[in-house]
Structure 1
Amino acid sequence: MEPDGARERLAAWLEELGLVEHLAEAGLPTMVRDDQGRAVWTDPGTGAELSDDQVAELDAVLHQEGSDPAHAVPVPLLQIARQARVHDELLTSAWHSYESLARLRGASVERTRFAVHKAAGQHRLLAVTGPAGLMVPDFQLDATGEVRPELVDLLEPLLAAGMDGWKAWAWLTRPAALAAGLVPEQAAASPDPADVDVVRRAAQRLARTVAGTG
């Protein structure tokens, strides 16, 4: 296939998969279309346009997953794209700033800030840093703004193991394979002790994996 055809084919493939915007995050050459709609591939290190050989090498790298290169998909890129989608979904879910949590608790912002940092330091509260600053996901809180007691057995092992806060948020609030498809934060409040035990053990197993001890 002619060089421009190779560039276009690779660009069209990644556009169809919705992965073009995630190339830079994966440390790969990036692609934009010029005024004529031509795919322009750029080396992230030099800022120069890729040569024909470099495009061919990139094509080979992205098609190396799976036993059938013709139908392979770039798994690492797909994982990055999925993480980005989950991140965006979490941002649209309920969460608190220091100010909104202070109002919920009926406390001052200063007192709330101190309490949040103390609880997070004890691995008993999940807090992440987002576009607006510190965010406290609402799912873990009761009606008074305090951490739901039944979640402590899930939060402590995951956070103590050093699990990324965004990943912990996603794992706790979505059906989890390790937890037999249960949503951990929901199952933790189940009246069925078996469900509670399943998610507690799942959190412990995941924590050992994160810490590299399991």
Structure 2
Amino acid sequence: MNQDADHAQLGDRLAQWLEGLGLADQLAAAGLPSFERDLGGVARWRDPRTGLALTAEQLADLDRVLHQDGDEPAHAVPLALVQLRRKAQVRAALLASPWHGYASLAEVRGASENATRFAVHKAAERHALLVVQHEGATLVPAFQLAEDGELRPELGAVLEPLLAAKMDPWQVWSWLTQPAGLLGGQVPHEAARDPEEVAIVRHAAVRLAERAQG
């Protein structure tokens, strides 16, 4: 088998492996070379910096990088790509849940959009409202809001330590809306509705914030 055939075989093997793991779409996000299949189904790998086809040496280096996790390289799984896929899945789920932009929140609050924009900005500065940036838009997750569009009072003390610790807003959104190990599997923002549980939720939030800073 000649060198070109070896190169093509390695490229196809890597592509099939990543497709089988469901990780092919995470390559670009990780800053790694990615591939497209041509009309004949052959994987064509490209350097993300130059756009040029990968050389045999570059492809061999990529193979080593992707198989470096674990004690058995032949059965390794690229953990960084798995983590990126998980992050993408979590973000998709969060984006599918209710949230407001300035216009819709202004309607709920019965205020102007400009006034709402200013109020959201000031509340975020005080660590009194979770605000998430996404593709140039500002999102205000709805779970934290009362019927009038203002922050639920019981969540103020829960949000403050998380936001003051400068945690990733996506992580804060995720933690507050999914079952949390620190709370025995309860969903934090739901548990906080119970006056007997809110102090425990805040304590868990403080511990999480300390981890993020530590």
Gaps of 5+ in 2: none
Cα distance in structure 2, aligned partners of 1:120 and 1:84: 24
Contact kept in structure 2, 1:187 and 1:199, CA below 8 Å: yes
Cα distance in structure 2, aligned partners of 1:5 and 1:198: 56
Cα distance in structure 1, aligned partners of 2:163 and 2:199: 19
* 2:26 equivalent in structure 1: 22
* 2:167 equivalent in structure 1: 163
Cα distance in structure 2, aligned partners of 1:143 and 1:79: 36
* 1:179 equivalent in structure 2: 183
- Residues 179-203 of structure 1: per-residue CA shift (max 9 Å, x gap): 3322111111135x2x434322221
Q: Which segment drifts farther, 90-99 or 123-132?
A: 123-132
Deviation at 1:52, TM superposition (A): 1.9
Superposed counterparts of 1:26-65, under 5 Å:
26-65=30-69
- Residues 55-90 of structure 1: per-residue CA shift (max 9 Å, x gap): 122112111112222222111111111111111111
* 1:205 equivalent in structure 2: 207
What amino acid does structure 2 have at the position aligned with 1:68?
E
Deviation at 1:178, TM superposition (A): 3.1
Q: Which segment drifts farther, 154-163 or 176-185?
A: 176-185
Deviation at 1:134, TM superposition (A): 1.2
SS of aligned partner of 1:37: coil
Cα distance in structure 1, aligned partners of 2:211 and 2:71: 28
Superposed counterparts of 1:54-93, under 5 Å:
54-93=58-97
SS of aligned partner of 2:31: coil
- Structure-2-length-normalised TM-score: 0.91
Cα distance in structure 1, aligned partners of 2:7 and 2:118: 60
Q: 1:173 to 1:44 in 2, by over 3 A?
A: same
What amino acid does structure 1 have at the position aligned with 2:201?
V
The 4+ residue runs of structure 1 with deviation greater than 6 A are: none
Deviation at 1:107, TM superposition (A): 1.6
Cα distance in structure 2, aligned partners of 1:168 and 1:96: 17
The one of 96, 108, 112 aligned to 2:112: 108
Contact kept in structure 2, 1:158 and 1:204, CA below 8 Å: yes
Contact kept in structure 2, 1:182 and 1:199, CA below 8 Å: no
- Structure-1-length-normalised TM-score: 0.91
SS of aligned partner of 1:129: strand
Q: Which segment drifts farther, 40-49 or 9-18?
A: 40-49
SS of aligned partner of 2:68: coil
Q: Give aligned pairs, total.
A: 210
Deviation at 1:132, TM superposition (A): 6.5
Cα distance in structure 1, aligned partners of 2:181 and 2:82: 19
Cα distance in structure 2, aligned partners of 1:177 and 1:66: 26
Cα distance in structure 1, aligned partners of 2:82 and 2:32: 13
SS of aligned partner of 2:54: coil
What amino acid does structure 2 have at the position aligned with 1:86?
V
Contact kept in structure 2, 1:65 and 1:74, CA below 8 Å: yes
* 1:3 equivalent in structure 2: 7
Counterpart check, 1:135 vs 2:139: yes
Contact kept in structure 2, 1:184 and 1:199, CA below 8 Å: yes
Counterpart check, 1:119 vs 2:138: no
Identity of aligned residues (%): 55
